[in-house]
Chain A
Protein backbone atom coordinates (compact mmCIF):
# COMPACT_ATOMS: atom_id res chain seq x y z
CA UNK A 1 0.00 0.00 0.00
CA UNK A 2 1.14 3.45 -0.80
CA UNK A 3 1.47 6.14 1.81
CA UNK A 4 0.29 8.83 -0.58
CA UNK A 5 -3.01 10.33 0.42
CA UNK A 6 -5.44 10.91 -2.39
CA UNK A 7 -8.63 12.91 -2.24
CA UNK A 8 -10.26 11.54 -5.39
CA UNK A 9 -10.25 8.06 -6.96
CA UNK A 10 -10.86 7.16 -10.59
CA UNK A 11 -11.28 3.59 -11.82
CA UNK A 12 -10.21 3.17 -15.46
CA UNK A 13 -9.66 -0.59 -15.25
CA UNK A 14 -10.72 -2.36 -18.45
CA UNK A 15 -10.69 0.85 -20.46
CA UNK A 16 -8.43 1.32 -23.43
CA UNK A 17 -6.71 4.30 -25.08
CA UNK A 18 -7.63 7.14 -25.01
CA UNK A 19 -10.32 6.75 -22.32
CA UNK A 20 -8.03 6.68 -19.24
CA UNK A 21 -6.49 9.99 -20.35
CA UNK A 22 -9.83 11.60 -21.20
CA UNK A 23 -11.39 10.54 -17.89
CA UNK A 24 -8.33 11.62 -15.92
CA UNK A 25 -8.43 15.06 -17.52
CA UNK A 26 -12.13 15.44 -16.82
CA UNK A 27 -11.67 14.42 -13.18
CA UNK A 28 -8.62 16.65 -12.66
CA UNK A 29 -10.57 19.61 -14.06
CA UNK A 30 -13.03 19.27 -11.19
CA UNK A 31 -10.33 19.17 -8.51
CA UNK A 32 -8.47 21.86 -6.56
CA UNK A 33 -4.82 22.71 -7.12
CA UNK A 34 -2.57 20.48 -5.00
CA UNK A 35 -5.16 17.71 -4.60
CA UNK A 36 -4.09 14.19 -5.52
CA UNK A 37 -6.01 11.85 -7.81
CA UNK A 38 -5.58 8.09 -7.54
CA UNK A 39 -6.20 6.59 -10.98
CA UNK A 40 -6.26 2.85 -11.64
CA UNK A 41 -5.84 1.40 -15.14
CA UNK A 42 -5.15 -1.91 -16.83
CA UNK A 43 -4.17 -0.43 -20.21
CA UNK A 44 -0.39 -1.03 -20.45
CA UNK A 45 -0.17 1.99 -22.79
CA UNK A 46 -1.37 4.24 -19.98
CA UNK A 47 2.11 4.18 -18.42
CA UNK A 48 3.78 6.20 -21.16
CA UNK A 49 0.56 8.06 -21.98
CA UNK A 50 0.07 9.33 -18.42
CA UNK A 51 3.68 10.54 -18.36
CA UNK A 52 3.25 12.38 -21.67
CA UNK A 53 -0.08 13.84 -20.63
CA UNK A 54 1.43 15.09 -17.37
CA UNK A 55 4.41 16.60 -19.21
CA UNK A 56 2.15 18.64 -21.46
CA UNK A 57 -0.47 19.68 -18.94
CA UNK A 58 1.86 20.46 -16.05
CA UNK A 59 0.15 18.07 -13.64
CA UNK A 60 2.49 15.73 -11.80
CA UNK A 61 2.53 11.93 -11.60
CA UNK A 62 3.86 11.73 -8.04
CA UNK A 63 3.96 7.97 -8.03
CA UNK A 64 3.20 5.03 -10.27
CA UNK A 65 2.98 1.48 -9.01
CA UNK A 66 1.94 -1.76 -10.67
CA UNK A 67 0.59 -4.97 -9.17
CA UNK A 68 -1.01 -7.90 -10.99
CA UNK A 69 -1.49 -5.92 -14.19
CA UNK A 70 -3.13 -2.98 -12.46
CA UNK A 71 -1.38 0.35 -12.74
CA UNK A 72 -1.96 2.91 -10.04
CA UNK A 73 -1.09 6.52 -10.69
CA UNK A 74 -1.04 9.28 -8.09
CA UNK A 75 -1.50 12.54 -9.93
CA UNK A 76 -1.13 15.90 -8.23
CA UNK A 77 -3.10 18.70 -9.83
CA UNK A 78 -0.98 21.73 -10.65
Chain B
Protein backbone atom coordinates (compact mmCIF):
# COMPACT_ATOMS: atom_id res chain seq x y z
CA UNK B 1 0.00 0.00 0.00
CA UNK B 2 1.02 3.56 -0.62
CA UNK B 3 2.57 5.62 2.16
CA UNK B 4 0.23 7.46 4.52
CA UNK B 5 -1.19 10.57 2.88
CA UNK B 6 -1.65 13.74 4.88
CA UNK B 7 -4.52 16.23 4.75
CA UNK B 8 -4.24 19.75 6.19
CA UNK B 9 -7.33 21.95 6.49
CA UNK B 10 -7.78 25.50 7.74
CA UNK B 11 -11.35 26.03 8.99
CA UNK B 12 -12.00 29.77 9.01
CA UNK B 13 -15.79 29.96 8.77
CA UNK B 14 -18.32 29.46 11.53
CA UNK B 15 -21.68 29.31 9.78
CA UNK B 16 -23.55 26.00 9.74
CA UNK B 17 -23.10 25.47 6.00
CA UNK B 18 -19.35 26.13 6.14
CA UNK B 19 -18.93 24.07 9.30
CA UNK B 20 -19.57 20.90 7.32
CA UNK B 21 -16.73 20.67 4.76
CA UNK B 22 -13.79 20.53 7.22
CA UNK B 23 -15.43 17.82 9.35
CA UNK B 24 -16.69 15.81 6.35
CA UNK B 25 -13.31 15.87 4.64
CA UNK B 26 -11.25 15.21 7.77
CA UNK B 27 -13.41 12.29 8.95
CA UNK B 28 -13.44 10.77 5.46
CA UNK B 29 -9.68 11.19 5.14
CA UNK B 30 -9.22 9.28 8.39
CA UNK B 31 -11.57 6.58 7.08
CA UNK B 32 -9.31 6.37 4.02
CA UNK B 33 -6.28 5.75 6.24
CA UNK B 34 -4.96 9.29 5.87
CA UNK B 35 -3.66 11.57 8.59
CA UNK B 36 -5.69 14.74 9.02
CA UNK B 37 -5.23 18.01 10.87
CA UNK B 38 -7.80 20.80 11.06
CA UNK B 39 -6.59 24.23 12.14
CA UNK B 40 -9.45 26.36 13.49
CA UNK B 41 -8.95 30.07 13.14
CA UNK B 42 -11.01 33.27 13.18
CA UNK B 43 -14.72 32.43 12.77
CA UNK B 44 -13.97 28.73 12.53
CA UNK B 45 -12.81 28.67 16.15
CA UNK B 46 -16.32 28.45 17.72
CA UNK B 47 -16.70 25.06 15.97
CA UNK B 48 -14.56 23.69 18.80
CA UNK B 49 -16.98 24.87 21.49
CA UNK B 50 -18.72 22.14 23.49
CA UNK B 51 -22.07 23.24 22.09
CA UNK B 52 -21.91 24.26 18.45
CA UNK B 53 -24.39 27.08 17.85
CA UNK B 54 -23.56 27.63 14.18
CA UNK B 55 -26.30 29.21 12.08
CA UNK B 56 -26.87 30.06 8.44
CA UNK B 57 -27.39 33.64 7.31
CA UNK B 58 -29.16 33.50 3.93
CA UNK B 59 -28.64 37.21 3.16
CA UNK B 60 -24.87 36.63 3.10
CA UNK B 61 -25.18 34.02 0.36
CA UNK B 62 -27.73 34.70 -2.39
CA UNK B 63 -27.03 31.26 -3.93
CA UNK B 64 -28.39 29.44 -0.85
CA UNK B 65 -31.58 27.58 -1.79
CA UNK B 66 -34.50 28.29 0.54
CA UNK B 67 -36.63 25.17 0.54
CA UNK B 68 -39.12 23.72 2.99
CA UNK B 69 -38.35 20.30 4.54
CA UNK B 70 -42.06 19.43 4.84
CA UNK B 71 -45.23 19.29 2.75
CA UNK B 72 -45.82 17.62 -0.62
CA UNK B 73 -42.82 16.93 -2.86
CA UNK B 74 -43.96 19.75 -5.16
CA UNK B 75 -44.03 22.16 -2.24
CA UNK B 76 -40.58 21.02 -1.09
CA UNK B 77 -39.21 21.71 -4.56
CA UNK B 78 -40.15 25.39 -4.40
CA UNK B 79 -37.10 27.63 -4.03
CA UNK B 80 -38.40 30.59 -2.05
CA UNK B 81 -36.93 33.81 -3.35
CA UNK B 82 -36.65 35.95 -0.25
CA UNK B 83 -35.36 39.48 -0.93
CA UNK B 84 -32.30 40.50 1.11
CA UNK B 85 -34.23 43.45 2.54
CA UNK B 86 -36.36 40.86 4.34
CA UNK B 87 -33.82 38.09 5.07
CA UNK B 88 -31.28 40.62 6.33
CA UNK B 89 -33.65 42.66 8.50
CA UNK B 90 -36.41 40.42 9.74
CA UNK B 91 -35.72 39.42 13.36
CA UNK B 92 -35.39 35.66 13.71
CA UNK B 93 -34.95 35.02 9.99
CA UNK B 94 -31.54 33.40 10.42
CA UNK B 95 -32.86 31.19 13.22
CA UNK B 96 -35.74 30.08 11.00
CA UNK B 97 -33.43 29.37 8.06
CA UNK B 98 -31.09 27.45 10.40
CA UNK B 99 -33.93 25.28 11.69
CA UNK B 100 -35.05 24.55 8.13
CA UNK B 101 -31.56 23.58 7.04
CA UNK B 102 -31.02 21.34 10.06
CA UNK B 103 -34.38 19.66 9.44
CA UNK B 104 -33.56 19.14 5.76
CA UNK B 105 -30.16 17.64 6.62
CA UNK B 106 -31.75 15.32 9.17
CA UNK B 107 -34.38 14.13 6.68
CA UNK B 108 -31.73 13.50 4.04
CA UNK B 109 -29.67 11.36 6.43
CA UNK B 110 -26.82 13.85 6.78
CA UNK B 111 -24.92 13.67 10.06
CA UNK B 112 -24.95 16.66 12.40
CA UNK B 113 -21.80 18.75 12.68
CA UNK B 114 -21.38 17.49 16.26
CA UNK B 115 -21.56 13.84 15.12
CA UNK B 116 -18.98 14.40 12.39
CA UNK B 117 -16.71 16.22 14.83
CA UNK B 118 -16.96 13.30 17.24
CA UNK B 119 -16.20 10.81 14.47
CA UNK B 120 -13.16 12.88 13.53
CA UNK B 121 -11.81 12.67 17.07
CA UNK B 122 -12.59 8.96 17.37
CA UNK B 123 -10.59 8.27 14.23
CA UNK B 124 -7.56 10.29 15.27
CA UNK B 125 -8.06 13.57 13.41
CA UNK B 126 -6.06 16.31 15.18
CA UNK B 127 -7.73 19.63 15.95
CA UNK B 128 -5.55 22.70 16.48
CA UNK B 129 -7.09 25.90 17.86
CA UNK B 130 -5.50 29.17 16.80
CA UNK B 131 -4.08 30.66 19.99
CA UNK B 132 -4.04 34.20 18.58
CA UNK B 133 -7.74 34.11 17.66
CA UNK B 134 -8.52 32.85 21.15
CA UNK B 135 -6.80 35.87 22.66
CA UNK B 136 -8.41 38.31 20.22
CA UNK B 137 -11.98 37.05 20.57
CA UNK B 138 -11.67 36.10 24.22
CA UNK B 139 -12.15 32.32 24.12
CA UNK B 140 -10.92 30.09 26.94
CA UNK B 141 -9.86 26.45 26.74
CA UNK B 142 -12.67 25.54 29.15
CA UNK B 143 -15.23 26.42 26.47
CA UNK B 144 -13.77 23.90 24.04
CA UNK B 145 -14.09 20.14 23.74
CA UNK B 146 -11.34 17.92 25.11
CA UNK B 147 -8.47 16.74 22.96
CA UNK B 148 -7.80 20.06 21.23
CA UNK B 149 -4.22 21.20 20.64
CA UNK B 150 -3.27 24.86 20.75
CA UNK B 151 -0.87 26.62 18.44
CA UNK B 152 -0.28 29.23 15.81
CA UNK B 153 0.55 29.62 12.15
CA UNK B 154 3.93 27.92 12.52
CA UNK B 155 2.38 24.89 14.22
CA UNK B 156 -0.01 24.44 11.30
CA UNK B 157 2.61 25.10 8.64
CA UNK B 158 5.06 22.63 10.14
CA UNK B 159 2.47 19.92 9.51
CA UNK B 160 1.20 21.37 6.22
CA UNK B 161 4.73 21.47 4.81
CA UNK B 162 4.59 17.68 4.53
CA UNK B 163 0.89 17.44 3.65
CA UNK B 164 -0.28 16.00 0.35
CA UNK B 165 -3.53 17.99 0.39
CA UNK B 166 -3.93 21.46 1.90
CA UNK B 167 -7.28 23.22 1.94
CA UNK B 168 -8.48 26.59 3.16
CA UNK B 169 -12.18 26.55 4.01
A residues at B contact (CB < 8 Å): 14-19, 21-22, 24-26, 43, 52-53, 56-58
Q: How far is the CA of A17 from the CA of B109 in the complex (A)?
A: 8
A4 to chain B, nearest CB (A): 23
A57 close to B32 (CB less than 8 A): yes
Instruction: Determine if A56 and B32 form an interchain contact, defined as CB atoms under 8 angstroms apart.
Output: yes
Task: List residues of B whose CB falls within 8 A of some A CB.
Answer: 1-2, 5, 24, 27-28, 30-34, 108-111, 116, 119, 123
User: Across the interface, which residues of B come within 8 angstroms of A19, CB to CB?
Assistant: 109-111
- Report the number of A-B residue pairs with Cβ-Cβ less than 8 Å: 44
Main secondary structure on chain B at its contact with chain A?
A: loop
| B27 engages A53 (CB within 8 Å) | no
CA distance A58 to B2 in the complex (A): 9
CB distance from A57 to the nearest CB of B (A): 5
A16 to B107, CA, bound (A): 10
**Given known A18-B24, A22-B119, A58-B1, contact A53–B31 (CB-CB < 8 A):** yes
Shortest C-beta distance, B31 to chain A (Å), equals 4
The residue among A25, A52, A57, A58 with the most chain B CB atoms within 10 A of its own CB is: A25
Residue of A nearest to B24 (CB): A18
Residues of B within 8 A of A56 (CB): 2, 5, 32-34
Chain A CB within 10 A, most for which of B5, B30, B31: B31
